[in-house]
Amino acid sequence: MRRLGAILSATLLILSVTSAYAGEGRARRETRSAVRPKLGTLDVGQLQIGTLRLGVLLADRSLDEPLPLQATAAAGKDNGKKVKEASCQVIEFHASKTGAPKVDDKLGKWKAELNQPPLSAFDSFKVTGEKTVVIAPGSTSSVKITANLTLLFKGVVTENSKDRLQLEVTVDNATGKRMYRSTTTQDSGASQILSAGKSGDANVFFVATCTAK
């Protein structure tokens, strides 16, 4: 009987200690939650999740959703590396069907692309303007000639020792109507040919070539 009493006393003592530790743990968690710092309106815990999600997006090369610009730009700084800028050459050209084939000399390096649909429906390609812009990470730059092309440079990802640029591209036609907005990750030095609607009888296109520097 005495042994049974001792066992019951020991059991009650263990339960009491366990309960005390549980209460102390809850108090510590509540205290941490109450004093957890915030960055603007963004909870630091959410910011950490966002940073991890950014890494997943970069690994998958999935840019369907906007990336956190601050996290992208800060990545180079955290690694002690210089944050690279994007140098983008933008050429606007008009394409038409004239019966007298002619390709502007400035478009010579893209002749193979001009012979592919939908550009193969035209036979004359004339450059109407060009501009080179340098864009810092998290910044935008617009080139307006006949139509308007806006480039948002999100940052550089290095994959297999090659620089790849994260860009958001927005195109408005000659009257200011939004044609489309898209995001892409492309090799440094690669080109995109982008449709910008019509201006009179001509079809307007941009060719944008961006390089990390």
76-89: per-residue pLDDT in tens? Answer: 444 556 779 999 99
- Judge whether 132 lies within some domain: yes
Give the C-alpha separation, 187 to 162, whole Å: 7
- Are residue 22 and residue 90 in the same domain, yes or no? no
Give the C-alpha separation, 51 to 57, whole Å: 10
Q: What is the pLDDT of residue 135?
A: 98
- Are residue 196 and residue 94 in the same domain, yes or no? yes
According to DSSP, the β-strands at 102-103 and 124-135 are parallel
Q: pLDDT tens for residues 100-157?
A: 999 999 999 999 999 999 999 999 999 999 999 999 999 999 999 999 999 999 999 9
Q: What is the pLDDT of residue 170?
A: 97
Beta strands in 42-117 (DSSP E): 42-43, 86-96, 102-103
The tokens describing 92, both together, are 């606007």
- Are residue 110 and residue 202 in the same domain, yes or no? yes
pTM above 0.85, yes or no: no
- Are residue 126 and residue 203 in the same domain, yes or no? yes
- Judge whether 50 lies within some domain: no
- Are residue 105 and residue 206 in the same domain, yes or no? yes
- Are residue 100 and residue 168 in the same domain, yes or no? yes
Tell the burial category of 201 from Cβ atoms under 10 Å away from its Cβ (0-12, 13-18, 19+).
Answer: exposed
Lowest-pLDDT range, 61-75, 146-160, 175-189? 61-75
- Are residue 121 and residue 203 in the same domain, yes or no? yes
- Are residue 93 and residue 196 in the same domain, yes or no? yes
- Are residue 22 and residue 108 in the same domain, yes or no? no
Task: State how many domains the chain has.
Answer: 2
Mean pLDDT of 9-13: 45
- Judge whether 43 lies within some domain: no
Q: What is the pLDDT of residue 18?
A: 43
- Are residue 92 and residue 31 in the same domain, yes or no? no
- The SS3 of residue 87 is strand
The mean of the pLDDT values for the chain is 74
Q: What is the pLDDT of residue 79?
A: 54
- Judge whether 190 lies within some domain: yes
Q: Give the Å distances, CA to CA, from 196 to 14, 33, 35, 59, 85.
A: 75, 51, 51, 31, 25
The DSSP letter of residue 201 is: T
Lowest-pLDDT range, 51-65, 72-86, 109-123, 155-169? 51-65
Beta-carbon-side half-sphere exposure of residue 46 (alpha carbons within 13 Å):
8
- Are residue 96 and residue 198 in the same domain, yes or no? yes
The answer, yes or no, to whether residue 48 has pLDDT greater than 50, is: no
- Are residue 29 and residue 103 in the same domain, yes or no? no
Give the C-alpha separation, 74 to 124, whole Å: 45
Q: What is the pLDDT of residue 83?
A: 78
- Judge whether 28 lies within some domain: yes
Give the C-alpha separation, 197 to 31, whole Å: 58
Give the C-alpha separation, 121 to 100, whole Å: 13
Residue-range definition of the domain harbouring residue 96: 86-212
Mean pLDDT of 158-185: 94
CB 91 within 8 Å of CB 106: yes
